[in-house]
């Protein structure tokens, strides 16, 4: 997205159609799609990039996903719900969701970031999606956010159920630590007969142990044990 060409206006219209919300304040939409590198090139500074809206949208998105999980899993405790939220609000899921909406084709990048393929980076695309939720909350209120989260997440969550907890516990644990501003997990894994045993350490202390037929399976088991211990 560079300037106000008809192609870009069409992309923005398509995005808003996918969001089922056309912004009354178009400046919020544009800010949500402006990477800090583009704001800097415009001489506007980081405050005019998506970062402030991303801060708000992160909280908005996590709240509405938590609300959806609370309704869909009435028999699960706080620990399971927290792990489910960690997965469904993860960077990878957000980036995939953003691309399904066409967000990646609307992000305005600085020249250097564009050359580096910024629109293909999960981190940037996920950040823009969070910023869009911040903008959506300011422009359309909580009802618009609730409607969009249900449209995007309800069916995938219902269809996959609890299987995501076993799918990638390592990612869930890492992202939980990142959100809390803590050090990343460290794994100590070694063969044990025909299997592998793994221990995951947080801040230098072992928190979860696991075993499996492969190194990856053992580390996933250790990560699941750590998540359960942190719940």
Q: Confirm if 2 and 108 have CB atoms less than 8 A apart.
A: yes
* Angle, CA of 25, 142 and 76, to the nearest 5°: 145
Neighbours of 159 (CB within 10 A): 8
Check 91, 130, 139, 175 and give the catalytic one.
Answer: 130
Comparing C-alpha atoms, which of 37, 175, 10, 46 is closest to residue 119? 37
- Phi then psi for residue 184, to 5 deg, are -75, 155
Check 51, 54, 58, 197 and give the catalytic one.
Answer: 58
Residue 58 annotated as catalytic: yes
Residue 130 annotated as catalytic: yes
Q: Distance between CA atoms of 190 and 114, rounded to whole angstroms?
A: 42
Comparing C-alpha atoms, which of 67, 68, 70, 86 is closest to residue 78? 70
5 three-state secondary structure: coil
Comparing C-alpha atoms, which of 194, 221, 191, 193 is closest to residue 207? 221
Active-site residue set: 58, 130
């Amino acid at each position: 997205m560079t300037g106000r060409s008809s192609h870009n206006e069409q992309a923005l219209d398509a995005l808003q159609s996918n969001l089922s919300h056309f912004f009354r304040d178009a400046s919020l939409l544009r800010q949500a799609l402006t990477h800090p590198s583009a704001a800097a090139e415009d001489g506007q500074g980081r405050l005019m990039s998506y970062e402030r809206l991303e801060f708000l949208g992160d909280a908005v998105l996590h709240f509405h996903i938590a609300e959806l999980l609370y309704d869909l899993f009435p028999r699960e405790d706080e620990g399971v719900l927290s792990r489910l939220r960690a997965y469904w609000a993860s960077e990878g899921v957000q980036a995939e969701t953003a691309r399904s909406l066409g967000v990646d084709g609307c992000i305005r990048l600085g020249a250097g970031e564009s050359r580096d393929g910024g629109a293909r980076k999960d981190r940037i695309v996920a950040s823009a999606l969070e910023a869009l939720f911040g903008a959506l909350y300011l422009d359309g209120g909580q009802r618009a956010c609730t409607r969009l989260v249900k449209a995007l997440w309800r069916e995938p969550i219902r269809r996959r159920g609890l299987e995501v907890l076993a799918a990638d516990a390592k990612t869930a644990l890492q992202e939980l630590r990142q959100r809390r501003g803590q050090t990343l997990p460290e794994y100590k894994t070694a063969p044990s007969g025909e299997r592998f045993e793994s221990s995951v350490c947080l801040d230098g202390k072992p928190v979860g142990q696991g075993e499996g037929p492969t190194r990856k399976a053992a580390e996933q088991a250790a990560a699941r044990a750590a998540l359960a211990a942190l719940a």
